[in-house]
Chain A
Amino acid sequence: MNLQTIDMAHVSLRELNTTLQKPDDATRVSGWEVINSKGSHAIAVGLDAPIDVTIKGSTGYYCAGMNKQATIRVKGSAGPGVAENMMSGTVIIDGDASQYAGATGHGGLLVIKGNASSRCGISMKGIDIVVHGNIGHMSAFMAQSGNLVVLGDAGDALGDSLYEARLFVRGKVKSLGADCMEKEMRPEHIAILKDLLARSGADAKPEDFKRYGSARQLYNFHIDNASNY
C-alpha cells in the first residue's frame, strides 16, 4: 500500500489542499496521512477523487468542506462546519464535532463518533449524518432532505422549520422546533436506518429509534401561522 504522509509542520495548507485536489497525484497513491494538523482550518477541502485521507489530530473550521468522492477520517475532534456542503464520499470524525457539522450537505455520509454541537445538519439537502453521541440545539434547522441519525439525545428545537429530511433519535429530544413532529416508523424507515447504522459502525437496533419529520404546516406562508415562524 502506497501511503503518503503530509506533515503540516512543514507543508503549507494551500500546498496540502492542492496536492490532495490533484487527480493524477490522487490516483498514484492509495492513501494520505496528514500529521501536525493542530486545529488548522480548511484541511482537505474541495477533494474530488476516490482517495483516502486520514488526519491524525484535531481540526479547525471547515475540515472536509465540499467533499466529493473522498473518504476523510479525523483521528481527533473537528471544529465548526466539518463536511459543510459535502456532495458525496464519506467523512468520519473519531471525536466530537463543533457547530453546524454537515451543514447544507447534498450527499455522502458523515459519521461523528462523539457528540455534535449545535446546528448539526442545518439546511441539509441530501447528506446522511450519523452521530453516535448527542447533538446540540437547533439541529436539522430547515433540513430539506437526507437522514440525520442520533444514537444519543437531541437538544432544543430539533428540526425547526423542517422540510423533508428524516430525523431518527434513539435518546431523549429536549424539544421539537416549529413544524417538527414525531412520525410513525414504517418498514422502509427501519430499512434506511439499518443500512445507515451498519455503514457507520454503530451498534444500535433500528427499532429503538423514533422518527421525526415535518408536520408540513409552514411550507407556505399563511397569516394564521405568523406566530409559529
Chain B
Amino acid sequence: MCGIVGLFIKDPSLRPELGSMLTDMLITMSDRGPDSAGIAIYGVDTDNRTKITVQSNTPEVEFAGLDSDLGDAIGGAVSMRIKDTHAVLEMSDDIAAAAREALAEIRPSLRIMSAGDIIEIYKEVGLPKDVAARFQLSQMGGSHGIGHTRMATESAVTTMGAHPFSTGPDQCLVHNGSLSNHNSLRRKLIRNGMVFETDNDSEVAAAYLTDKMRQGCNLGEAMEASLQDLDGFFTFVIGTKAGFGVLRDPIACKPAVMAETAQYVAFGSEYRALVNLPGIDAARVWEPEPATVYFWEH
C-alpha cells in the first residue's frame, strides 16, 4: 500500500497555493504510507536556466561552499538554495551537463534527485507531516505537483527508495503497487543506457517511460507501451514539464480517484485526500478506468 496525490493547476491564481494544497493532501495519505514521503514540484520556468536538486546525508559538510566549488569547476555561475538535506543548484542550460559531471567529481556522495528546467524533488524517510515540514513544502508554488507516501514492499526504506523517481529531465513517476518483471526489464534498460540508483521496481517503470521517450515516443505513447511491457499492479502518476498523466493496470486493484473543476485537476489514492480542495463539492469526481491513459498539459 502507498498513497499518491497529484495536483494540476488550471487557474494561474491558484499557483501560489500548490504547495499548501498538496501538503494537506499528502498528510491525509499518511495511513497509506508512513515510511517515507516525497514530492515533485513544477515551479517557475526561468529562461535558459537548469535546476539540479541534490540530496546529502551530511548537508552541513557537503553543501558548504558547494555553489562556488561547482562554479569554479565548470567555469560559470551557480546559485544554491538549501532546504534541509536537499539543495537546488541553478545554472545556465549550456553548463548543466558539465555541472552534473563535475558534481560526481567534487561531491561524489551527493545524490541527484532531479534535473530539468522547472522540476524540484524533495524526499526523505519519515512521516509525511515531518518530511513536509522539513522542506517547507507548503510554501512552494507552481503549476503542478505530485506527492507520494510510501509503505515499502519491494525494496528498503531509504531516501533513494522513496518516490518520486526521476530518470529524465523534468520527468518523474510515483507508483502504488508492485511490478513482477522489473529485474528483467532493468537489465534491458541498462543495455539501452539507462542508469539506476536503486533496486526498486518503481524506478524501473520511471526509466522505462524515459527510455521510450528518448526513442521518440510522446508520454501518451510511452504509457500505452508500458501496458504491454510492465507486468504487475500499478497506479502511476507521471509528471513532465508540461503536465501530468495517470495510468492504472488492467486489473486496477490499486485505488485512484480524480476530481476536476475549472481551477484544477486533482488525483488521490482515496477521496479523503481531496476533501479540502476548493470547490470539491461541485467538482466532477470519478475513478480513472483501468488500462486507460489520462493526461493533462498546460
Contacts and interface: CB of A to CB of B under 8 A. Distances in A.
Interface residues of A, number: 18
Contacts of A60: 270-272
A98 B287 contact: yes
B271 A58 contact: yes
A39 B272 contact: yes
B275 interface: yes
Contacts of B275: 38-39, 58
Interface in B254-297: 255, 257, 270-275, 285-287, 290
A80 B255 contact: yes
A39 B287 contact: no
Contacts of A96: 285-287
A17 interface: no
Contacts of B270: 39, 60-61, 79
Nearest to B273: A39
B271 A39 contact: yes
A138 B51 CA distance: 46
B271 A77 contact: yes
B287 A117 contact: yes
A98 B272 contact: no
Interface residues of B, number: 14
A98 B255 contact: yes
Contacts of A58: 271, 275, 285
A98 B286 CA distance: 9
A99 B285 CA distance: 15
A64 to B, nearest CB: 16
A137 interface: yes
Contacts of B257: 98
Interface string A37-69: 011110000000000000000101100000000
A90 interface: no
Nearest to B31: A41
A103 to B, nearest CB: 12
A123 interface: no
Nearest to B287: A117
A43 to B, nearest CB: 12
Contacts of A77: 271, 285
Nearest to B28: A39
Nearest to A77: B285
Interface string A58-100: 1011000000000000000101100000000000000110110
A137 B290 contact: yes
A190 B270 CA distance: 39
B195 interface: no
B225 interface: no
A80 B287 CA distance: 11
Nearest to A118: B252
Contacts of B272: 38-41, 60
Nearest to B255: A80
Nearest to B289: A136
B253 interface: yes
Contacts of B274: 39
A40 B273 CA distance: 10
Contacts of A137: 252, 290
A71 B282 CA distance: 27
27 contacts: A38-B275, A39-B274, A39-B275, A40-B272, A41-B272, A58-B271, A58-B275, A58-B285, A60-B271, A61-B270, A77-B271, A77-B285, A79-B255, A79-B270, A80-B255, A96-B286, A98-B257, A99-B252, A99-B253, A99-B255, A118-B252, A118-B253, A118-B290, A136-B252, A136-B290, A137-B252, A137-B290
Given A40-B272, A60-B271, A99-B252, 7 more contacts: A39-B275, A60-B272, A77-B271, A77-B285, A96-B285, A118-B290, A137-B290
Interface of A: 38-41, 58, 60-61, 77, 79-80, 95-96, 98-99, 117-118, 136-137
Interface of B: 252-253, 255, 257, 270-275, 285-287, 290
